[in-house]
């Protein structure tokens, strides 16, 4: 765990407390059972906004607390531990795009609404099955945006989209010319393909040529923070299980083969935490962000992949049942691994950033 300020400690403890008490995995089960397309509890999201969590990266002048990405990551990590379904990450990513590229007017109009929870927003970049920001066809003409976006997170709850077009990022409100096709993925959260047919769009003029890349890096570190919480939760649950389950008249934790596997996973988790926290800190410092974010998400992908698989294996048969939570983490893990860059995408990017 990174060395935290007093405010950050308080924030993390508050988030941990809330997630444990108000939003355990049983709450996600309720959301799933309700079968609503937006796939989150609106009251719970309102409570998060009330506690100031949506505004963590938003300046005080626009209704936020300006605590930065490491602080946002602390909250996201705690929510990831209990698989809390909410558009917090999506909205924070969208807010970062407006912060980086928006005019004073756009910031004043949207950031307070995002911070208060009134407006849910999300980033729409991909047009195909993989992360590929270099292959964008969506275009804008005369303030009208046309194109197709695929697998957009939290699309159902969102009323504002930050859309990547050929020549930059645009704000598009849900309404005329915006139609959703639900895509049900393994995590049973909100995803949709979106058809934009001449939808009214307003460009984010600031942020320079690197705006989309910069926003994607922020998406990477925040998703990595959620993944860190998930990996930690699966690890802890699995360790508890190994200490209880008896076979051959002894608890599983006494088997050295399992001890060493857990030691390996613990080392991986330690590495993941270092990489993710450093990614969040890099965004706050503004130094070496692309590289740090790539490392953070690449390590998050690698380690969560391993831990989510071992979580099932070490639970044995009951890990395969819907009654146990460990499978939910596996199903969310792969969706996040595919988001904003798979492992192979990120390794390629790292090599490019390093000049080979």
251 binds other proteins (CB under 8 A): yes
271 binds other proteins (CB under 8 A): yes
Rg of the chain in Å (alpha carbons): 20
354 binds other proteins (CB under 8 A): yes
| CB-count exposure of residue 55 (10 Å: 0-12, 13-18, 19+) | buried
CB of residue 91 vs other proteins: minimum separation in angstroms? 28
CB of residue 278 vs other proteins: minimum separation in angstroms? 5
Of 138 and 281, the one with the shorter C-beta distance to other proteins is 281
Scored b (16 or more CB within 10 A) or e, 67-89 reads: bbbbbbbbbbbbbbbbbbbbbbb
228 binds other proteins (CB under 8 A): no
CB of residue 293 vs other proteins: minimum separation in angstroms? 12
CB of residue 295 vs other proteins: minimum separation in angstroms? 5
The count of chain residues that interact with other proteins, using the rule CB under 8 A, is 41
355 binds other proteins (CB under 8 A): yes
Of 191 and 297, the one with the shorter C-beta distance to other proteins is 297
Among 126, 187, 277, 337, which residue sits at the site for other proteins (rule: CB under 8 A)? 277
Residue found under tokens 């009134």: 118
What are the tokens at 32? 């799933």
181 binds other proteins (CB under 8 A): no
Other Cβ atoms within 10 Å of 198 Cβ, number: 15
Scored b (16 or more CB within 10 A) or e, 25-52 reads: bebbeebbeeeeebbbbeebbebbbebb
306 binds other proteins (CB under 8 A): no
Of 34 and 263, the one with the shorter C-beta distance to other proteins is 263
CA distances from 64 to 58, 85, 166 (A): 4, 22, 31
CB of residue 269 vs other proteins: minimum separation in angstroms? 9
Restricting to residues 334-353, which ones interact with other proteins according to CB under 8 A? 344, 346-348, 350-352
10 binds other proteins (CB under 8 A): no
- Part in contact with other proteins (CB under 8 A); list of ranges 13-21, 26-34, 222-230, 256-264: 256-264
299 binds other proteins (CB under 8 A): yes
Contact 63, 118 (CB under 8 A): no
263 binds other proteins (CB under 8 A): yes
What are the tokens at 106? 């756009």
Q: Rounded to an integer, what distance in angstroms lies between the CA atom of residue 256 and that of residue 106?
A: 58
What are the tokens at 5? 């300020």
What angle (nearest 5°) sits at the alpha carbon of residue 284, between those of residues 46 and 287? Answer: 150
Give the residues lining the site for other proteins (CB under 8 A): 1-3, 239, 242-243, 251, 253-254, 256, 258-260, 262-264, 266-267, 270-275, 277-278, 294-295, 298-299, 302, 344, 346-348, 350-352, 354-356
């Amino acid at each position: 765990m990174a060395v935290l300020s007093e405010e950050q400690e308080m924030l993390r403890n508050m988030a941990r407390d809330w997630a444990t008490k108000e939003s355990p995995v049983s709450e996600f089960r309720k959301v799933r059972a309700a079968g609503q397309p937006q796939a989150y509890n609106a009251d719970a999201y309102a409570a998060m906004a009330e506690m100031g969590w949506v505004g963590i990266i938003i300046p005080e002048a626009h209704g936020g607390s300006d605590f930065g990405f490491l602080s946002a990551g602390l909250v996201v990590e705690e929510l990831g531990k209990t698989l809390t379904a909410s558009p917090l990450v999506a909205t924070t990513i969208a807010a970062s795009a407006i912060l980086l590229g928006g005019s004073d007017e756009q910031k004043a109009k949207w950031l307070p609404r995002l911070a208060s929870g009134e407006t849910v927003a999300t980033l729409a970049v991909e047009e195909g099955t993989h992360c590929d920001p270099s292959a964008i066809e969506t275009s804008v003409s005369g303030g009208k945006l046309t194109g197709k976006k695929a697998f957009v997170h939290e699309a159902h709850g969102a009323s504002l989209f930050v859309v990547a077009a050929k020549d930059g990022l645009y704000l598009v409100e849900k309404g005329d010319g915006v139609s959703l096709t639900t895509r049900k993925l393994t995590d049973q959260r909100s995803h949709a393909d979106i058809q934009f047919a001449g939808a009214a769009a307003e460009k984010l003029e600031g942020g320079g040529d690197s705006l989309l890349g910069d926003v994607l890096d922020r998406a990477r570190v925040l998703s990595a923070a959620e993944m860190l919480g998930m990996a930690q939760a699966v690890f802890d649950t699995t360790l508890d299980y190994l200490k209880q389950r008896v076979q051959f008249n002894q608890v599983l934790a006494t088997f050295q083969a399992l001890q060493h596997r857990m030691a390996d996973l613990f080392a991986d988790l330690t590495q993941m935490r270092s990489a993710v926290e450093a990614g969040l800190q890099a965004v706050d410092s503004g130094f070496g962000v692309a590289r740090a974010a790539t490392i953070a998400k690449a390590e998050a992908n690698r380690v969560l992949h391993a831990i989510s698989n071992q979580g099932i294996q070490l639970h044995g048969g009951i890990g395969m049942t819907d009654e146990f939570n460990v499978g939910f983490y596996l199903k969310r893990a792969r969706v996040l691994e595919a988001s904003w860059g798979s492992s192979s995408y990120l390794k390629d990017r790292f090599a490019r950033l390093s000049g080979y």
